[in-house]
């Protein structure tokens, strides 16, 4: 019995591994303007538990007698209204069209709807839309990787924090290179943090204090040297006070050590020795 169970377990583990690998490909980080912009398209966000993934299993857009179905960061899932077209190679075939790819387009050729696969989830690549404005969103690209006819789809996921709009447009270039856009909260940077190499507020404050102290010493010394005619070490302003600073610091630490050290010794000696 146990020997028969290892097959479904192996299939389940394989599917989980593939799913996690695909989702990791939908993570992207971009560094610019002393900030790190991090995007995770498949992560859960408010009102959208599956991130940019369509809860219907696919997005659909039509233009110029062409129909495009696509899903980001995952494969297409048709629970209703599956594609009915000729061909559909590399995406389940005519009998199971749209079951093994992430983007599929249907075009009417001589009265027949002919389907072509445009990409797979494993080929997903994410890049920034505008490097001058990293918060604008990202562009998701996928392709078939076919040497004879390398079809592809580019989806611009534009940052819109309040709601989802689109896809509304469909553009075609070349033989089978398509592009569309989508406005979605997942296109907004999930985390923005500054570089640690920059100056912090404490370091800036410390530098200001040191500069003021140096200006005080130099200005005071110049005044005492030229105006009062003082020479030697006495040219330093308030030299008597500065001479007592090391001794004052030593006395302060000494009193702290004696206070805490004395209390601990007092606790140890407050108990009398008992002989058994």
* Interval 215-224 mean pLDDT: 88
- How do beta strands 112-119 and 86-87 pair? parallel
Domain boundaries in the chain? 27-193, 201-252
pLDDT tens, 228-257?
888 888 888 888 888 888 888 888 888 877
- Closest to 167 measured CA to CA, from 267, 26, 59: 59
User: Has residue 74 got a pLDDT over 80?
Assistant: yes
User: Has residue 59 got a pLDDT over 70?
Assistant: yes
pLDDT tens, 205-217?
889 999 998 898 8
**Structure confidence at residue 29 (pLDDT):** 87
- Closest to 186 measured CA to CA, from 22, 53, 56: 53
Which pLDDT band, with edges at 50, 70 and 90, does 84 fall under?
confident
**Structure confidence at residue 191 (pLDDT):** 62
pLDDT tens, 108-163?
888 888 888 999 888 899 999 998 888 899 999 999 877 777 899 999 999 998 89
Alpha carbon distance 118, 120 (integer Å): 7
Which pLDDT band, with edges at 50, 70 and 90, does 30 fall under?
confident
Long-range contacts of the stretch 202-209 (C-beta < 8 A, 24+): none
User: Domain 27-193 classified CATH 3.30.1180.20?
Assistant: no
Q: Tell me if the bond preceding 167 is cis, omega within 30° of 0.
A: yes
81 is written with which tokens? 């209204």
């Amino acid at each position: 019995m146990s020997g028969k169970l290892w097959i479904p377990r192996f299939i389940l583990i394989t599917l989980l591994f593939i799913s996690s690998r695909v989702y990791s490909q939908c993570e992207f980080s971009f560094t610019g303007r002393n900030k790190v912009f991090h995007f995770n398209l498949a992560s859960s966000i408010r009102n959208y538990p599956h991130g940019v993934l369509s809860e219907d299993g696919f997005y659909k857009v039509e233009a110029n007698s062409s129909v495009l179905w696509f899903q980001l960061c995952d494969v297409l899932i048709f629970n209703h209204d599956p594609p009915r077209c000729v061909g559909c190679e590399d995406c389940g075939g005519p009998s199971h069209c749209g079951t093994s790819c992430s983007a599929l387009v249907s075009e009417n050729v001589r009265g027949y709807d002919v389907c072509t696969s445009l990409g797979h989830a494993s080929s997903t690549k994410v890049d920034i839309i505008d490097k001058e404005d990293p918060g604008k969103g990202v562009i998701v690209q996928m392709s078939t990787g076919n040497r004879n006819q390398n079809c592809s789809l580019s989806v611009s996921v534009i940052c819109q924090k309040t709601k989802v709009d689109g896809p509304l447009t469909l553009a075609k270039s070349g033989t089978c290179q398509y592009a569309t856009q989508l406005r979605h909260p997942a296109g907004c940077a999930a985390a923005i943090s500054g570089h640690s190499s920059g100056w912090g507020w404490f370091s800036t404050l410390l530098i200001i204090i040191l500069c003021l102290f140096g200006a005080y010493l130099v200005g005071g010394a110049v005044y005492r040297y030229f105006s009062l005619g003082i020479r030697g070490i006495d040219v330093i302003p308030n030299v008597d006070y500065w001479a007592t600073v090391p001794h004052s610091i030593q006395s302060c630490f000494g009193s702290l050590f004696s206070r805490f050290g004395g209390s601990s010794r007092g606790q140890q000696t407050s108990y009398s020795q008992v002989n058994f």
